Structure 1
Amino acid sequence: MNYTSATPRETVYLLSPEQIAGPYFRNPKLIRRNISEGQDGIPLVMRLAIVDSMTGEPVNGALVDIWHCNARGSYSGWSRINPDLEVDAGHIGAIARTDDDTYLRGGQFSDNKGMVRFTTIYPGFYAGRALHIHVAVRITGGNNYLEERHVAWVGQLYFPEVATRSVLSAKEYKGRSVSPLSNEQDHFYENMGGDASTLAVHSIGRDTTEDGFFAHTTIGIDTFAVSTQIRPEDFDKYTV
């Protein structure tokens, strides 16, 4: 089933809107496609195309990091934070880490078509937010790529409401004391270009969502930009 609008979008490579990195950014230096680490949830296969917003050409060799919460709303590194209570969604380093877990985090290098692919689970939610996945794109050079700090773009990717409703009815996501915000209720979605950051989502199975989803989008970046959302000095913070 296709959960995306039936009206096709014209292919125009504009600069994708940036959004905050939030307090749960880490730099675990994990280059891997499958980031699930056995976490329970509905499978999600995600493909991102990274393009140069100035030329429309694919960006080859960019390091694309993603991170998101599990089905119950917890982030690795902060697994002991209660996801049913709202926290300060501010800057990197605002919340002390509670553990060294690394589930649902990882990076891939874009290929010569600008593509990266991840295998993960459909994220859950935590209090005060809609469902989303964080993304950071680093421009790399030389051999010491895992130490690269040139972050060109930081954003969040959102999900169509119809797909999300079907996922939240699954047993792995049910039984919470709070409800997620809709996209339109989410402050960051509404005020930081969330509509332009919504994934196209398709169910993999013909008659059920249990087989999982395929999601994709194109991210337009300025390869010469230096993001203010993850700065070079943020990599030195004790929480990272």
Structure 2
Amino acid sequence: MDYTSAAPREPVCLLSPEQIAGPYFRNPKLIRRNISEGQDGLPLVLRLVIVDAMTGEPVSGALVDIWHCNARGTYSGWSKVNPDQEVDADAIGSIPRTDDDTYLRGGQFSDNNGVVRFTTIYPGFYAGRALHLHVAVRITGGNNYLEERHVAWVGQLYFPEVASRSVLNAKAYRGRTLAPPTNAQDEYYANMGGEASTLMVHSIGRDSYEDGFFGHLTIGIDTFAVSTQIRPEDFDKYTV
């Protein structure tokens, strides 16, 4: 008897580890590729590929939101929070907002190849956290917020330290009162699969990092999963 036909199908792509959404999540409903809004910092061109972890097929029409801090370590909406002082808060809404800015936030619908592209800046850091950016993937019925179904995956993406050291020497990132934590010193990186969520990063310029960086990663998700990190009511509650 041929037992191979009865064997469970192996995933053809790794399921990317979920991580917390963090306290600085908002839902500004901004569909845009360029999210920089003139923020100082080295350019970062970001390419993410969303695939079904069970089939390896691209996930098209998914709404992919990203958000991250600026070169000084502050998030839009919380610009008056001191990034050099560690805050004891992880949950969405646990830190009151201080402003209505929207820099370094936005979403794109994945194309037929599962690809989304963003133009932003390389993030800085804040107390207790290595350099990272946040991602949420929502499964929709098409390129329309009104046909949104559910949040399938929430994660954080990290940066290779070789590239980050060059970035943190640039003018926009210097002059902080504390040293940046390494990836290994970040508890979320260490405990929640940060190595598997580290971007591939390349310098755009041949002779200088001042031209910026290109970062890319393939994210494998379970399209039927319902994330516990961001619930549908969180998008309604924390809009704009």
Larger Rg: 2
- Cα distance in 2 between the residues matched to 1:23 and 1:182: 21
* Paired residues of 1:93 and 1:239 also in contact (CA < 8 A): no
Matching of residues 105-184 of structure 1 within 5 Å: 105-141=105-141, 144-145=144-145, 148=148, 150-184=150-184
Distance 1:211 1:12, change over 3 A: farther
Matching of residues 1-240 of structure 1 within 5 Å: 13-141=13-141, 144-145=144-145, 148=148, 150-237=150-237
Match of 2:30, SS?
coil
Percentage of pairs with the same residue: 84
Q: Spell out, residue by residue over 1:143-162, the C-alpha distance to the aligned partner (whole angstroms, 9 max, x if none).
A: 75157361100000000010
* Paired residues of 2:12 and 2:54 also in contact (CA < 8 A): no
Distance 1:55 1:178, change over 3 A: same
- Counterpart for residue 7 of structure 1: none
Letter in 2 for 1:77: G
Match of 1:172, SS?
helix
Which runs of structure 1 show a deviation greater than 6 angstroms over 4 or more consecutive aligned residues? none
Letter in 2 for 1:225: A
Distance 1:146 1:208, change over 3 A: farther
* Paired residues of 2:12 and 2:55 also in contact (CA < 8 A): no
User: Which residues of structure 1 form unaligned runs of 5+?
Assistant: 1-10
* Paired residues of 2:28 and 2:239 also in contact (CA < 8 A): no
Aligned residues: 230
Distance 1:161 1:12, change over 3 A: farther
What TM-score, normalized to structure 1?
0.92
* Paired residues of 1:88 and 1:94 also in contact (CA < 8 A): no
Q: Offset of 1:38 from its aligned partner? A: 0.2
Q: Offset of 1:179 from its aligned partner? A: 1.5
* Paired residues of 1:19 and 1:229 also in contact (CA < 8 A): yes
Q: Spell out, residue by residue over 1:204-235, the C-alpha distance to the aligned partner (whole angstroms, 9 max, x if none).
A: 00110000000000000000110000012222
Match of 1:163, SS?
helix
Q: Greater helix share, 1 or 2?
A: 2
Distance 1:63 1:75, change over 3 A: same
- Counterpart for residue 4 of structure 1: none
